[in-house]
Homo-oligomer: A and B are copies of this chain.
Amino acid sequence: VVSLCVIAGGVGAARLLRGAQDVVVGPSLTAIVNVADDDVISGLSISPDLDTVVYTCAEAIDPDRGWGLADETWRAMESQRRYTDSAGRSDVGWFNLGDRDLGTHLYRSARLARGATLSEVTAEIAAAWGLSMRVVPVSDDAIATRLVTDEGEIAFQDYFVRLQHGVEVHGVSFAGAMTATAAPGVLDAIAAAEVIIIAPSNPIVSIGPVLAVPGVRDALVARRDDTVAISGIIGGKALKGPADRLLVELGHESSAVGVARLYAEFAATLVVDDVDAGLADAVEATGMRCVVAPTIMSTRADAAALTSVCIDAAGGG
């Protein structure tokens, strides 16, 4: 049994972690999760990536939507829409929260209001869903991804949900990151894990803010030989979300090679999909070792297999 630490964003990381549970059991599996998508919506503290990881690993995610809970209803949102229409405000109610999902946000908001830290609340939520893995926010401090667009600087959920990431991005920053402290256990988990995986999440807005928390990037650099990244860019495209466009808009290459250039400093190995086998030489030219494997995780078994590929590839394979 190996101890494994996964640097995680939302959907892609959650899919990997779902299968990783079958390879690394119990608290030997730690997910360090992005919090820069977190926001306060209508007074409620939401943590999209943390919830996606927990719900997915608990087999409770809605498989069709890819976010939120299965067996969901939308009574609160339908009720809220009555008022949105009346007031003629389009900026209230664009954020969709299912009724069951609201229970999570209500609990988190109540606990935070009473002084609990986000990592404490997250541990409680993960335990309530029966997870034995550790799910840890990268920081208990607020970090907020800000995107510079033609309409000015906007918040992440504005970009991702309200605008459906349909606008060009000229710059990205992570407000609060520089003064944030890594949450308890984060740096220790990176230092102690036998293998570290950078999940196939968005390199810019999911992995980027995790790296921006003081200490995290250095901790990974110190573990470079044991750190394996998985490219979330397959055949030049992101499976889901705006990673491909964001990379290009910010001057990077939307390919496994572009990902390698971003990760080479702190990860010795990049796992690229079979369709990108032809990029292996270009990846290795960045200083990373390239491993070619199936990376599309349609099933839990796919994710377990990909986890094993990464573990085998670490430390020289």
**Which residues of A88-131 have CB atoms within 8 Å of chain B's CB atoms?**
89, 91-93, 97, 99-107, 109-111, 113-114, 124-125, 127-129
Given contacts A79-B102, A82-B103, contact A110 B73 (CB under 8 A): no
Is the pair B83, A113 in contact by a Cβ cutoff of 8 Å? no
Is the pair A42, B42 in contact by a Cβ cutoff of 8 Å? no
Which of the residues B76, B80, B124 comes within 8 Å of A86, measured between beta carbons? B124
Is the pair B124, A104 in contact by a Cβ cutoff of 8 Å? no
Q: Which residues of A contact B (CB under 8 A)?
A: 40-45, 69, 73, 75-87, 89, 91-93, 97, 99-107, 109-111, 113-114, 124-125, 127-129
Is the pair A101, B127 in contact by a Cβ cutoff of 8 Å? no
Given contacts A73-B73, A128-B85, contact A42 B106 (CB under 8 A): yes
Is the pair A43, B113 in contact by a Cβ cutoff of 8 Å? yes
Chain B residues closer than 8 Å to A109, beta-carbon distance: 42-44
Is the pair A99, B75 in contact by a Cβ cutoff of 8 Å? yes
Is the pair A42, B110 in contact by a Cβ cutoff of 8 Å? yes
Q: Is the interface of A mostly helix, strand, loop or mixed?
A: helix
A129 and B79 CA atoms in complex are apart in Å by 11
Chain B residues closer than 8 Å to A80, beta-carbon distance: 102-104, 106-107
A101 and B79 CA atoms in complex are apart in Å by 7
Which of the residues B45, B76, B83, B103 comes within 8 Å of A125, measured between beta carbons? B83
Closest to A85 in B: B128
A110 and B77 CA atoms in complex are apart in Å by 13
Is the pair B107, A84 in contact by a Cβ cutoff of 8 Å? yes
For the complex of A and B, 9 pairs with smallest distance between CB atoms: A79-B103, A43-B109, A86-B128, A75-B99, A80-B103, A43-B43, A76-B102, A42-B110, A83-B107
A-B contact pairs, 14 of them (CB 8 A): A40-B43, A40-B113, A41-B110, A42-B106, A42-B107, A44-B109, A76-B100, A77-B103, A80-B103, A83-B107, A83-B124, A83-B125, A92-B110, A92-B114
